[in-house]
């Protein structure tokens, strides 16, 4: 491909992308292909000679598109969203064209300093503590890993980095039973070991029982183990429960433990003044993560990680081989020392585009709309015979199930709801997922897609009701 061809093809591509956004609701939201179908349609041998864009794009439409689950459909209500938006996609075009490698300041001063600035903006938008410093990580999983590694190093006076674990007693991490699986993964990778991750009991609303946490810490101290870190969550993945951060924070202070807060999805809601009460306990936190790539209209991947003590973070990760020595070291941020990866994409650009194009008020308006729609749906469900809510609606996730009057058997109800989920997803007109709450098969419907409107939620609800009424039970 030469530059003239590139120019012509990129114009066509821009139109194709705009067409996609216009037509996205007409595709089945959840891909309907069977395992292996895409793989089998792809030639086993790579092409020996150049192929035209026409031929590549024809195969893209024919082979790839059927295997796409449309995360950007306004009828995507599954998991938590991985949103994009028009300004974010435009920024991603530039990001890929510039193809920056921002491992140190000198390799891309703009990537470093824009990141610095937008992270400061986020602190203002979300009312986060002024003393914090932010850095973009690829995912919440990587952010939490960074937290656990830093906590490990601080607790051992940077000894494990140098000497491994050998002389240390069991270092203990605490989270709740409802904490995201990334905490367990980080505990394994960071060398604490899964068995040193204590999953504290939750209350009926799914939030961590702070009394049980304090008891677990006391028991461990008594047994000669070494409590190191507590992970609290704002907006658990199953049901968006909020852990009592103030109580947990006070416990961390009392025992001198690292306090990491995972607000991967829920954190976005803190931009609303009416949700600010949730930030109360953050003053105790040592580190905090939320994902603009979930609910803040910014393409995956973009995870905002904040720490109180940057020195502890960079001391944990810093390396200095000869080939990375620069004259500016010490005067600038070299983000390679702020996380696991050396190489870094220019992720700040899309966040900058999104914040500027929406404006802070525009962002708030969208998030508020999603919360209002979730409230509307939950009230509707509450007033509909044969359905019930299964968890408080703290953000824009609604947890519910079909519960026809005649059926009381829990096993049977679980089967019916599993069937209902499969049937509605098979229609391709929406996509929802499930969780289990106290053994109950629970339907999860998240209203957070960038371009979702009330009529999409109404259509989804109407389809769920109609499908439920037609189940043969």
Ligand X SMILES: *Cc1c(COP(=O)(O)O)cnc(C)c1O
Q: Write the DSSP assignment of 53-72 as a string of letters.
A: HHHHHHHIIIIIGGG---TT
Indicate the residue among 442 and 467 with the shorter CB distance to ligand X.
442
Q: Taking contact as CB under 6 A, which single stretch among the options 5-13, 136-144, 162-170, 394-402 is the one that binds ligand X?
A: 136-144
Tokens of 426: 């098979």
- The distance of closest approach from Cβ of residue 174 to ligand X in the complex, given in angstroms and rounded to an integer, is 16
Pairing of strands 440-446, 303-307: unpaired
Binders of ligand X among residues 174 to 193 (CB under 6 A) are: 180, 182
d(CA 130, CA 279): 13
Q: Taking contact as CB under 6 A, which single stretch among the options 138-146, 328-336, 417-425, 428-436 is the one that binds ligand X?
A: 138-146
d(CA 217, CA 211): 10
- The distance of closest approach from Cβ of residue 452 to ligand X in the complex, given in angstroms and rounded to an integer, is 18
Q: Which residue has the tokens 């409230």?
A: 375
Quickly list H helices, 66-130: 86-98, 109-126
Indicate the residue among 247 and 262 with the shorter CB distance to ligand X.
262
- The distance of closest approach from Cβ of residue 215 to ligand X in the complex, given in angstroms and rounded to an integer, is 24
Indicate the residue among 100 and 182 with the shorter CB distance to ligand X.
182
d(CA 7, CA 406): 64
β-strand partners of 200: 176
- The distance of closest approach from Cβ of residue 346 to ligand X in the complex, given in angstroms and rounded to an integer, is 18
Binders of ligand X among residues 364 to 403 (CB under 6 A) are: none
Specify the 3-state DSSP secondary structure of 471. coil
Residue 80: closest CA among 265, 236, 234: 265
Indicate the residue among 104 and 264 with the shorter CB distance to ligand X.
264
Tokens of 282: 């953050």
- The distance of closest approach from Cβ of residue 273 to ligand X in the complex, given in angstroms and rounded to an integer, is 23
Round the CA-based radius of gyration of the chain to a whole number and report it. 24
Tokens of 297: 């209209």
Indicate the residue among 156 and 237 with the shorter CB distance to ligand X.
237
Binders of ligand X among residues 221 to 250 (CB under 6 A) are: 233, 237
Indicate the residue among 300 and 402 with the shorter CB distance to ligand X.
300
- The site map against ligand X for 69-98 (x = CB under 6 A) is -----------x------------------
Binders of ligand X among residues 258 to 317 (CB under 6 A) are: 262, 264-265, 291, 303
Q: Write the DSSP assignment of 380-404 as a string of letters.
A: HHHTSTTEEE-S--SSSEEEEEE--
Q: Evaluate whether 50 touches 2 at the Cβ level (below 8 Å).
A: no
d(CA 125, CA 271): 6
Q: Evaluate whether 205 touches 392 at the Cβ level (below 8 Å).
A: yes
- The distance of closest approach from Cβ of residue 128 to ligand X in the complex, given in angstroms and rounded to an integer, is 17
Size of the site for ligand X (CB under 6 A): 13
Indicate the residue among 172 and 180 with the shorter CB distance to ligand X.
180
- The site map against ligand X for 334-353 (x = CB under 6 A) is --------------------
Chain positions contacting ligand X, by CB under 6 A: 80, 139-141, 180, 182, 233, 237, 262, 264-265, 291, 303
């Amino acid at each position: 491909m030469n530059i003239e061809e590139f120019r012509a093809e990129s114009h066509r591509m821009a139109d194709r992308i705009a067409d996609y956004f216009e037509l996205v609701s007409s595709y089945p939201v959840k891909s309907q292909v069977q395992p292996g179908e895409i793989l089998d349609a792809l030639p086993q041998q790579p092409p020996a000679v150049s192929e035209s864009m026409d031929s590549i794009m024809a195969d893209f439409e024919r082979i790839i598109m059927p295997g796409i689950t449309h995360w950007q459909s306004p009828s995507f209500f599954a998991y938590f969203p991985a949103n994009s938006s028009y300004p974010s996609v435009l920024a991603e075009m530039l990001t890929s064209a510039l193809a920056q490698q921002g491992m140190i300041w000198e390799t891309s001063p703009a990537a470093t300093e824009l990141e610095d600035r937008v992270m400061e903006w986020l602190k203002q938008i979300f009312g986060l503590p002024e003393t914090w410093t932010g850095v973009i990580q690829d995912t919440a999983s990587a952010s939490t890993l960074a937290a656990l590694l830093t906590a490990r190093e601080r607790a051992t006076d940077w000894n494990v980095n140098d000497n491994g674990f050998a002389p240390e007693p069991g270092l203990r991490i605490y989270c709740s039973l409802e904490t995201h699986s990334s905490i367990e993964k980080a505990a394994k990778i960071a060398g604490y070991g899964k068995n040193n991750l204590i999953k504290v009991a939750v209350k009926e609303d799914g939030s961590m029982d702070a009394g049980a946490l304090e008891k677990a810490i006391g028991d461990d101290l008594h047994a000669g183990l070494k409590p190191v870190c507590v992970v609290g969550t704002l907006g658990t993945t199953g049901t968006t429960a909020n852990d009592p951060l103030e109580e947990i924070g006070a416990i961390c202070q009392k025992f001198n433990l690292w306090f990491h807060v995972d607000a991967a999805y829920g954190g976005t809601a803190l931009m609303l003044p009416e949700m600010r009460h949730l930030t109360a306990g953050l003053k105790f936190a040592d580190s905090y993560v939320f994902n603009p790539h979930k609910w803040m209209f910014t393409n995956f991947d973009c995870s905002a990680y904040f720490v109180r003590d940057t020195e502890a973070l960079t001391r944990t990760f810093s390396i200095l081989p000869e080939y990375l020595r620069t004259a500016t070291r010490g005067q600038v941020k070299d983000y390679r020392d702020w996380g696991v990866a050396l190489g870094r994409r220019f992720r700040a650009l899309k966040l900058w585009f999104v914040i500027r194009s929406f404006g802070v008020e525009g962002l708030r308006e969208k998030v508020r709309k999603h919360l209002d729609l979730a409230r509307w749906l939950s009230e509707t469900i509450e007033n509909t015979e044969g359905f019930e809510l299964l968890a408080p609606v703290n953000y824009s996730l609604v947890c519910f199930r079909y519960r026809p009057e005649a059926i009381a058997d829990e096993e049977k109800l679980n089967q019916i709801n599993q069937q209902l989920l499969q049937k509605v997803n098979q229609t391709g007109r929406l996509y929802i997922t499930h969780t289990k709450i106290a053994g109950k098969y629970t339907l999860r419907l998240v209203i957070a897609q960038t371009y979702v409107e009330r009529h999409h939620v109404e259509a989804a609800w109407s389809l769920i009701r109609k499908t439920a009424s037609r189940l043969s039970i």
